[in-house]
Amino acid sequence: MVTLTSPSPVVGVIGGGQLGRMLGEAAGPLGVETVVSDPTADPPAAPVTRDQLQGAFDDPEVVEALAARADVLTYEIELADPDLLEQASEKVGVPVHPSPATLRFIQDKLVQKRRLKDAGIPVPAFKGIDSPDDLRDALDDLGAPAMVKARRGGYDGRGNAPLEDPADAEALFEELGGEVMAEATISFERELSVIGVKGAEGIRTFPVTETIHQEEILRETISPARTDERTRERAQQVARDVLEVMDGRGVYGIELFEVGEEDSESTETNREGSSGSILVNEIAPRPHNSGHWTIEGALTSQFEQHLRAVLGWPLGATDRRAPTALANVLGDVSTTRPAELRGVESVLSRSGTSLHWYGKREVRPLRKMGHLTRATTDSSDDPDDLLEDVRSARDALTFES
């Protein structure tokens, strides 16, 4: 039973970046309020949230103060501290979703991969690395180049580096801080993503998204993914299997590789090949960039879905309204400067193109500053055309003066 009240239920969110902002934007219609905590004064979420607590992610007083304001705690960034969340939750008596235990194992990429592998979920071949010697061995086992990843704290490609030559093993081991893992390099057909949600009464998945990266940073997405129906179904199935491993309600971004036949041998499971064409790359225990298109493109957005899930409310329909493409607006500058995005009139004039500006004060090279969604009214729209259209809209924008 859900009863709406005023004052509304409050979702406390660790992190006030663009994901916190879009959670705040989704909260209003639903009769939910958000309060965020963030180290930055006036972070992106501030103008659309009820209140902001300023303080470090690892400051126990801030986490506790947020818990005291909230009916449920969640986080929009993996830098949230699972121990502090657990303590604050117990002390104040509010639940945390997804569970701190889930956050904890996802934060360590090696533990995450092991957990997925143990559950029979297909992942690239990988190895835990404790020394430069281990790295050299891994290069033999996994093939060169291998992808070496810091176990903690990396994002948008930071903390990842390829290793080709055993002679570089020692330097790379040191550079990445010594707490690393190695993975077989996957030459994928394309990258896919499924946004999944775990609610009080079951799980749901959104339609498969195709993601397009450059320099390991997401540039564009398109849904439906330009692959065959069997692959889409397989991606959905893998995503459902992943959700079963997760503890705690909420939205999860599940990044996948679609691999060809020759590469499916580099996987840890499903070596029989019949359904080895999907591998799990990484899981984010929160709304994910690859799901931003759902704001316009699905009957329920991933942000509304996350709020419903953490509150224990019934989940919404995940159907796609129409084919939808998205382009990130990244900092096209070489040095940090105040954010001024020029050429916006061309986007505003473009029929069916929706603007999402994150309100960050400073633009930095390749920083995610906003995104554009190409929403349509016609389910017959061609994905290639949509993608080209939203790219050309994005390319008319610049932070350069």
Structure tokens at 205: 């998945």
Determine the interface stretch with its own copies among 119-127, 153-161, 220-228, 369-377 (rule: CB under 8 A): 369-377
How many residues would you count in the chain?
401
Q: Which one of 284, 289, 370, 394 is in contact with its own copies (CB under 8 A)?
A: 370
Does the protein bind its own copies through residue 282 (CB under 8 A)? no
Does the protein bind its own copies through residue 357 (CB under 8 A)? yes
How many residues form the binding site for its own copies (CB under 8 A)?
59
Does the protein bind its own copies through residue 171 (CB under 8 A)? no
Does the protein bind its own copies through residue 227 (CB under 8 A)? no
Element (H or E) spanning 116, and its range? Answer: helix 109-118
The Cα 139–Cα 52 span in angstroms is 47
Single-letter code of the amino acid located at 93: G
Q: Which one of 141, 165, 174, 319 is in contact with its own copies (CB under 8 A)?
A: 319
Element (H or E) spanning 112, and its range? Answer: helix 109-118
Q: Which one of 219, 321, 364, 391 is in contact with its own copies (CB under 8 A)?
A: 321
Q: Which one of 322, 326, 333, 390 is in contact with its own copies (CB under 8 A)?
A: 322
Does the protein bind its own copies through residue 380 (CB under 8 A)? no
The Cα 43–Cα 57 span in angstroms is 14
Does the protein bind its own copies through residue 359 (CB under 8 A)? yes
Dump the DSSP string for 58-77.
T-HHHHHHHHHH-SEEEESS
Cα 257 to the center of its chain, rounded Å: 15
The Cα 387–Cα 325 span in angstroms is 5
Does the protein bind its own copies through residue 115 (CB under 8 A)? no
Q: Are strands 337-338 and 217-223 parallel, antiparallel or unpaired?
A: unpaired
Residues of 41-76 as b/e, b for ≥16 C-beta within 10 angstroms?
eebbbbebbbebbbbebebeebbebbbebbbbbbbb
Does the protein bind its own copies through residue 320 (CB under 8 A)? yes
- For residue 51, the minimal CB distance to its own copies (Å) is 9
Determine the interface stretch with its own copies among 44-52, 82-90, 252-260, 276-284 (rule: CB under 8 A): 44-52
The Cα 348–Cα 364 span in angstroms is 24
Confirm if 182 and 148 have CB atoms less than 8 A apart.
Answer: yes
Q: Which CB, 272 or 378, lies closer to its own copies? A: 378
Does the protein bind its own copies through residue 348 (CB under 8 A)? yes
- For residue 105, the minimal CB distance to its own copies (Å) is 30
The Cα 400–Cα 382 span in angstroms is 32
Does the protein bind its own copies through residue 92 (CB under 8 A)? no
Determine the interface stretch with its own copies among 1-9, 141-149, 184-192, 262-270 (rule: CB under 8 A): 1-9
Determine the interface stretch with its own copies among 48-56, 187-195, 215-223, 382-390 (rule: CB under 8 A): 48-56
Does the protein bind its own copies through residue 21 (CB under 8 A)? yes
R_g of the chain computed on alpha carbons: 21
Number of neighbours of residue 345 by Cβ within 10 angstroms = 9
What would you measure as the largest C-alpha separation in the chain, in angstroms? 64
Does the protein bind its own copies through residue 338 (CB under 8 A)? yes
Does the protein bind its own copies through residue 344 (CB under 8 A)? yes
- For residue 32, the minimal CB distance to its own copies (Å) is 8
Q: Which one of 182, 192, 208, 375 is in contact with its own copies (CB under 8 A)?
A: 375
Q: Which one of 215, 262, 272, 345 is in contact with its own copies (CB under 8 A)?
A: 345
Q: Which CB, 45 or 176, lies closer to its own copies? A: 45
Structure tokens at 133: 């010697």
The Cα 116–Cα 282 span in angstroms is 10
Does the protein bind its own copies through residue 77 (CB under 8 A)? no
- For residue 299, the minimal CB distance to its own copies (Å) is 5
